[in-house]
Chain A
Amino acid sequence: MLDALTAYLKSNQTPGQAGSVLWAFIYILLIFVGLSVAVIAMNWLERKVLAHMQVRLGPMRVGPHGLLQPIADALKLLLKEDIMPAEADKFVFWVAPFIVVLTAFTVFIVVPFGPTHAVTDMNIGILFMLGVSSLSVLGIVMAGWASNSHYPLMGALRSSAQMVSYEIAMGLAVVSAVLMTSLNQTGSGTLSMIGIVQAQQAQETWFIFKFFPLGLIAFFVFAVAMVAETNRAPFDLPEAESELTAGFHTEYSGFRWSLFFLAEYSAMIAVSSIAVTLWLGGWLRPFPHWLSGGTWDLVFSFFPGITFLGLAGIAFYSTVRMPKHVYFRIQTMGLGAFAAALGLVGILLFLPPVRDRIQDIYWFAAKVAAFMYLYIWYRGTFPRYRFDQLMKVGWKVLLPIGLGVLMLTAVAGVFL
Chain B
Amino acid sequence: MTDATKYVSHLELGEPDQTFLDSNELIINMGPQHPATHGVLRVILKLDGEKVLGTECVIGYLHRGVEKIAENRTYTMFNPYVDRMDYVAAVSNGLGYCEAVEKLLNIQAPPRANYVRVILTELNRIASHQLWLGTHALDIGAITPLFYTFRDREEILKIFERYCGARLTTHAFRIGGLQYETYDGFEKDVETFLKFVAPKIDEYEELLTTNRIWVERTKGVGYISGADCIALGVTGPVLRASGVKWDIRKAQPYANYSEFDFEIPTGQNGDTFDRYIVRMQEMRQSLRIIEQAVGKIPEGPIMAKVPKVMKPPVGEIYHSIEAPKGELGYFIVSDGSTQPYRIRVRPPSFVNLQALDLMVRGQLVADVIAVIGTLDIVLGEVDR
Contact = CB atoms under 8 A, between A and B. Distances in A.
Interface of A: 50, 53-56, 150-151, 154, 158, 233-234, 236-237, 240-243, 245, 379-389
A243 B366 contact: yes
Nearest to A388: B364
B365 A243 contact: yes
Contact of B35 (A234, A237, A245, A379): A245
B142 interface: yes
Given A242-B36, A243-B365, A388-B364, A383 B28 contact: no
B143 A379 contact: yes
B144 A54 contact: yes
B327 interface: no
Contacts of A381: 142, 144, 207, 211
Interface string B28-45: 100000111000000000
Interface in B89-147: 137-144, 146-147
Contacts of A150: 26, 28
Contact of A386 (B35, B36, B137, B364): B364
Contacts of B144: 53-54, 380-381
B369 A243 contact: yes
Given A243-B36, A387-B364, A382 B28 contact: no
Given A150-B28, A242-B141, A243-B365, A56 B217 contact: no
Given A237-B366, A381-B207, 14 more contacts: A55-B147, A55-B148, A55-B151, A150-B26, A150-B28, A234-B213, A242-B140, A245-B34, A382-B213, A383-B142, A383-B211, A383-B214, A384-B140, A389-B217
**Max chain A Cβ within 10 angstroms of own Cβ: one of B144, B148, B217, B366:** B366
A159 to B, nearest CB: 13
Given A150-B28, A383-B211, A234 B141 contact: yes
A377 to B, nearest CB: 10
Contacts of A54: 143-144, 146-148
B181 to A, nearest CB: 34
A243 B146 CA distance: 17
A382 B365 contact: no
B47 to A, nearest CB: 8
Interface in B174-212: 207-208, 211
B367 interface: yes
B201 to A, nearest CB: 16
Main secondary structure of the interface of A (DSSP, over half): helix
Contacts of B208: 383
Nearest to B213: A383
Main secondary structure of the interface of B (DSSP, over half): helix
Contacts of B369: 242-243
B50 interface: yes
A384 B141 contact: yes
B217 A383 contact: yes
Nearest to B148: A55
Given A151-B28, A241-B35, A243-B365, A389 B139 contact: no
A61 B92 CA distance: 39
Nearest to A381: B144
Nearest to B365: A243
A379 B141 CA distance: 9
B216 interface: yes
B73 to A, nearest CB: 38
Nearest to B34: A245
A387 B50 contact: yes
Nearest to B147: A54
Contacts of A237: 366
A387 B143 contact: no
Interface string B364-384: 111101000000000000000
Contacts of B151: 55
Contacts of A379: 143
6 closest pairs, A vs B, by CB?
Answer: A384-B141, A242-B36, A54-B147, A383-B142, A383-B141, A150-B28
A379 B140 CA distance: 12
A237 B365 CA distance: 11
Nearest to B139: A242
A242 B211 CA distance: 19
B376 to A, nearest CB: 15
Contact of B137 (A55, A383, A387, A389): A383
A197 B350 CA distance: 62
Nearest to A150: B28
Contacts of A382: 141-142, 211, 213
Contacts of A241: 35-36
Nearest to B152: A55
A151 B28 CA distance: 8
Contacts of A386: 216-217, 364, 366-367
Nearest to A153: B26
A240 B35 CA distance: 10
A241 to B, nearest CB: 6
**Max chain A Cβ within 10 angstroms of own Cβ: one of B138, B139, B214:** B139
**Max chain A Cβ within 10 angstroms of own Cβ: one of B36, B143, B208:** B143
**Max chain B Cβ within 10 angstroms of own Cβ: one of A237, A242, A383, A386:** A383
A387 B366 contact: yes
A185 B35 CA distance: 58
Contacts of A242: 35-36, 138-141, 369
B130 to A, nearest CB: 14
Contacts of A243: 36, 365-366, 369
Contacts of B35: 241-242, 245
Interface string B330-369: 0000000000000000000000000000000000111101
19 contacts: A50-B143, A55-B147, A240-B366, A242-B35, A245-B34, A245-B35, A379-B143, A380-B143, A381-B211, A382-B142, A383-B142, A383-B211, A384-B141, A386-B217, A387-B50, A387-B365, A387-B366, A388-B50, A388-B364
**Max chain A Cβ within 10 angstroms of own Cβ: one of B138, B146, B216:** B216
Contacts of A55: 147-148, 151
B137 to A, nearest CB: 7
Contacts of A158: 50
A164 B35 CA distance: 28
A236 B148 contact: no
**Max chain B Cβ within 10 angstroms of own Cβ: one of A53, A379, A382:** A382
